[in-house]
């Protein structure tokens, strides 16, 4: 059985549509926030990002987007919060978002597998900080704490964009200089044989910076 990790290109219309469908399908089931699922369709910011996917044979089962951002004001717009946390970021940072996994594959650790590859990509580009945001109570919270992420609260939540938070919103940061090795070892331990079951079929790409919201 062929299992692969790869980057989806905006010229690959079949896989772009598969990503669109997967995002809309899984985000429609989301708890803790509401979103207009049609706004999850591929757009310019996806083309400027690295959109990673896992597939078994020809079916995409999981995806995650990585945005390298070197502008604090753009990061703040994406987070819907002005950065006033007691942690100074070194830019560019890597913002991970738009993660989705088909329900039948959620026990396989594919979200963690994609995150593992993104952490390695950030290290390759000598990026120090990996950022994320999600509603409190998410199943990934324990995982991120054990990887070494620091947690902060966005008291305003998501209200400006197409997302509407229904629970408190967390902003998380992983400092790869301090906790990078811990995070990668955690991934290796938790994923076990699945870490090698999926072939990463890409060469290391060139860094590209996101400019669009």
DSSP string, 7-68: EEPTT-HHHHHHHHHHHHHHHTT-SSEEE-GGGGS--HHHHTSEEEEEEETTEEEEEEEEEE
Q: Is position 205 within any domain?
A: no
Closest CA to 5 of 120, 93, 88: 120
How many domains in the chain?
1
Residues 116-131 have pLDDT tens digits of 999 999 999 999 999 9
Q: Is position 209 within any domain?
A: no
**What pLDDT is stored for residue 98 in this prediction?**
96
CATH code assigned at 59: 3.40.630.30
pTM (global) more than 0.75: yes
**What pLDDT is stored for residue 34 in this prediction?**
86
**What pLDDT is stored for residue 123 in this prediction?**
97
Residue ranges, the chain, pLDDT below 50: none
Q: Is position 211 within any domain?
A: no
Q: What residues make up the domain containing 114? A: 3-200
Residues 59-90 have pLDDT tens digits of 999 999 999 999 999 999 999 999 999 999 99
Average pLDDT of the chain, as a whole number: 95
Q: Is position 206 within any domain?
A: no
Q: Is position 213 within any domain?
A: no
Give the DSSP H/E element, type plus range, for residue 180. helix 176-191
**What pLDDT is stored for residue 149 in this prediction?**
98
Q: Is position 106 within any domain?
A: yes
**What pLDDT is stored for residue 191 in this prediction?**
95
């Amino acid at each position: 059985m062929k299992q692969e990790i790869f980057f989806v290109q905006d010229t690959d219309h079949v896989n772009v549509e598969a990503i669109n469908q997967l995002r809309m399908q899984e985000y429609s089931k989301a708890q803790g926030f509401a979103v207009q699922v049609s706004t999850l369709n591929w757009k310019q910011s996806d083309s400027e990002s690295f959109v990673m996917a896992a597939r078994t044979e020809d079916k995409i089962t999981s995806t995650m987007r990585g945005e390298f951002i070197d502008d604090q004001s753009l990061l703040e717009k994406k987070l819907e919060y002005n950065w006033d946390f007691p942690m100074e970021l070194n830019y560019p940072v890597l913002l991970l978002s738009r993660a989705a996994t088909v329900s039948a594959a959620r026990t396989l650790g594919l979200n963690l597998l994609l995150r593992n590859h993104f952490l390695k990509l950030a290290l390759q580009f000598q990026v120090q900080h990996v950022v994320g945001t999600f509603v409190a109570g998410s199943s990934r919270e324990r995982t991120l704490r054990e990887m070494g992420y620091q947690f902060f609260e966005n008291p305003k939540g998501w209200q400006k964009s197409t997302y509407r938070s229904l629970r408190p919103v967390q902003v998380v940061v992983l400092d790869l200089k301090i906790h990078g090795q811990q995070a990668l070892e955690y991934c290796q331990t938790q994923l076990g044989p699945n870490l090698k079951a999926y072939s990463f079929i890409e060469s290391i790409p060139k860094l590209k910076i996101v400019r669009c919201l």
